[in-house]
Chain A
């Protein structure tokens, strides 16, 4: 069964305190790993797509990396406006399910 596990469930950081969020996955094959940001009361906002192990992508204070078993979302010197829930999703190589999502990591950045 295709599965995505995100850790930690919640993370509280001081402004400027860098950290990483983890996304572990088991899939029959990987067509892509996606990171989204979700603010309360809103739909998920697309951040990154990674397709192969070793790939990295960056956007402002965020950097996503991918291995054969997991992905990391590194947050460098976070600001309070980075507070949100970060969702990881995979597109399996088999089956009809478009995306399989993890439950997310709820990030709070305190000024």
Chain B
């Protein structure tokens, strides 16, 4: 596709349920990033994938959060046992050549935990 796509665009879930968020990066981009944007806060880095290297998970807030990237393309962010404080917009970005180039963002998934 022409840009980064994410699905679903909106997700409402009940506290304690698991959710999966999907990201399709720009074709050919080797790096993929997940960020979280809470109301009134800046973007918070969560996890970073670069090619076949081990992902940088240093931003994941707890062990309830995990992510995988299959075949060097599509990525899934999973949040287990969701809490109300997980409510935010989850943004995915991709870039070419990893850390040294600008990142292009998808439209985000708005997650609401009731």
Contact = CB atoms under 8 A, between A and B. Distances in A.
Interface string B29-50: 0000101000011111100100
Interface string A44-68: 1110010000000000000000000
Nearest to A95: B58
A27 B43 CA distance: 17
Contact of A87 (B43, B93, B100, B108): B43
Most buried by B among A32, A36, A97, A98: A98
B104 interface: yes
Nearest to A89: B43
Given A43-B91, A97-B58, A103 B103 contact: no
Contact of B59 (A41, A97, A103, A104): A97
Interface in A24-52: 31-32, 34, 36, 41-46, 49
B106 interface: yes
Majority DSSP secondary structure for residues of B touching A: mixed
Interface residues of B, number: 24
Interface in B87-112: 91, 93, 99-100, 102-108
Given A96-B48, A98-B48, A46 B43 contact: no
A99 interface: yes
Interface of B: 4, 33, 35, 40-45, 48, 56, 58-59, 91, 93, 99-100, 102-108
Interface of A: 4, 31-32, 34, 36, 41-46, 49, 87, 89, 91, 96-104
Given A31-B99, A99-B103, 11 more contacts: A32-B100, A43-B93, A43-B105, A44-B91, A91-B99, A97-B59, A98-B56, A99-B33, A99-B45, A101-B44, A103-B41
